[in-house]
């Protein structure tokens, strides 16, 4: 018998815990045919509602349910990492608790693993039910990201992914603190089959991602998988030096030919504002990388466990 680990990060998902469990089992009939055992790891990311109690209720009836509870909210990336570390399965699948990752896809995903793929990933081809502004910026992010990073990050890719133990171990070998899983999947490589599906709206509860949280997350993604912004800062520095030299030459020549080097303070104010803006912008870019390095060298744990059942 082989083992399939299902990892479910949960943050305030009390309404979804039981629904998810039943929906998963309903679609899990292929597991018996294939002689695969199941373990379900609910990773409670410091929920403040009854999530933990709901999982414990399931656990009382079903030994295959496990609970790992964090001491506070560490974020979905930390929950995924904890789940992967905890999983014992020969195959591991990551799924959201809100049923936005349809369990009905599992049999098909597994069939590709049988065909020899190392990992089966999913992407949603529509963003139905999502605010227009959010979709627009999401698309923009993916376009930008794929221009400035060597690691491919697929637009619409979900974290819903079935992997073999080999891929899981590869991901776990990346022990970085700033974890951007969408990039890590691409970075480790392996043979990946992509499945597409129409966006499913969240069953109950609400999304944990505000626009601001997503914006900060996108900056995490960029700094974690590209150093191009640093190069842009250097190039801007060179360009502005070049322009400054030109202006100096023009001013000197004008003084020599026409005896009039200055043409008032408005131009000066504009130039000072522009240059100081560019300087602060570049300093900000450097600061972003410095802060990530700072967090990385502290070597703090990615998450802390309160309860492990």
Considering only 69, 87, 100, 149, the residue that binds Mg ion (CB under 5 A) is: 100
Considering only 203, 208, 254, 292, the residue that binds ligand UDP (CB under 6 A) is: 208
Considering only 21, 75, 151, 186, the residue that binds ligand UDP (CB under 6 A) is: 75
Contact between 118 and Mg ion (CB under 5 A)? no
Distance between CA atoms of residues 262 and 255, nearest Å: 9
Contact between 79 and ligand UDP (CB under 6 A)? yes
Distance between CA atoms of residues 42 and 59, nearest Å: 10
Q: How far is the CB of 76 from ligand UDP (least distance, A)?
A: 4
127 binds, among Mg ion, ligand UDP, none (CB under 5 to 8 A by kind): none
Distance between CA atoms of residues 19 and 209, nearest Å: 21
- Helix (H) or strand (E) holding 238, with range, is helix 228-258
Which 169-228 positions form the footprint of Mg ion (CB under 5 A)? 202
Contact between 16 and Mg ion (CB under 5 A)? no
Distance between CA atoms of residues 10 and 100, nearest Å: 13
Which 187-206 positions form the footprint of ligand UDP (CB under 6 A)? 202
Q: How far is the CB of 97 from Mg ion (least distance, A)?
A: 8
User: Furthest-apart CA pair in the chain: how many Å?
Assistant: 93
Q: How far is the CB of 35 from ligand UDP (least distance, A)?
A: 29
- Helix (H) or strand (E) holding 59, with range, is helix 51-61
* Interface segment toward ligand UDP; rule CB under 6 A; list 94-102, 174-182, 192-200, 271-279: 94-102
Our CB check for ligand UDP shows the closer of 127 and 165 to be 127
Question: Which sign does the torsion angle of CA 217, 306, 54, 47 carry?
Answer: negative
Distance between CA atoms of residues 118 and 162, nearest Å: 8
77 binds, among Mg ion, ligand UDP, none (CB under 5 to 8 A by kind): none
Distance between CA atoms of residues 18 and 2, nearest Å: 25
Contact between 101 and ligand UDP (CB under 6 A)? no
* Interface segment toward ligand UDP; rule CB under 6 A; list 70-78, 117-125, 273-281, 298-306: 70-78
Contact between 302 and ligand UDP (CB under 6 A)? no
Alpha-carbon distances, residue 63 vs 5, 57, 58, 143 (angstroms): 13, 11, 9, 44
Nearest alpha carbon to residue 159 among 131, 181, 135:
181
Footprint on this chain of ligand UDP (rule: CB under 6 A): 9-11, 13, 45, 73, 75-76, 79, 96-98, 100, 202, 207-209
């Amino acid at each position: 018998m082989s083992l399939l680990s299902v990892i479910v990060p949960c943050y305030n998902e009390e309404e979804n815990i039981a629904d998810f469990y039943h929906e998963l089992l309903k679609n899990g009939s292929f597991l018996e045919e294939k002689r695969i055992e199941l373990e379900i790891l609910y990773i409670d990311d410091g929920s403040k509602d009854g999530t933990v109690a709901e999982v414990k209720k399931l656990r009382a009836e079903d030994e295959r349910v496990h609970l790992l509870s964090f001491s506070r909210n560490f974020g979905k990336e930390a929950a995924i990492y904890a789940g992967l570390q905890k999983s014992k399965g020969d195959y591991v699948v990551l799924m959201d608790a809100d049923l936005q990752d349809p369990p009905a896809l599992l049999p098909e995903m597994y069939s590709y693993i049988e065909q020899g793929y190392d990992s089966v990933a999913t992407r949603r081809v529509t963003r139905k039910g999502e605010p227009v502004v959010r979709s627009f910026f999401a698309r923009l992010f993916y376009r930008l990201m794929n221009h400035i990073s060597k690691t491919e990050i697929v637009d619409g890719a979900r974290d819903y992914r079935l992997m073999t133990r080999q891929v899981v171990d590869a991901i776990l070998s990346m022990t970085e603190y700033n974890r951007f899983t969408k990039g890590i999947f691409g970075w480790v490589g392996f043979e990946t089959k992509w499945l597409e599906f129409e966006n499913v709206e969240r069953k109950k509860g609400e999304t944990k991602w505000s626009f601001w949280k997503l914006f900060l997350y996108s900056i995490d993604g960029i700094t974690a998988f590209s150093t191009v912004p640093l190069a842009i800062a250097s190039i801007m520095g060179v360009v502005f030096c070049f322009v400054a030299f030109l202006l100096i030459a023009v001013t000197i020549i004008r003084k020599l030919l026409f005896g009039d080097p200055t043409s008032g303070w408005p131009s000066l104010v504009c130039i000072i504002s522009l240059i100081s803006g560019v300087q602060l912008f570049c300093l900000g870019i450097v600061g972003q990388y410095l802060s990530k390095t700072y967090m990385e060298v502290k070597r703090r744990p990615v998450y802390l466990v309160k309860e492990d059942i």
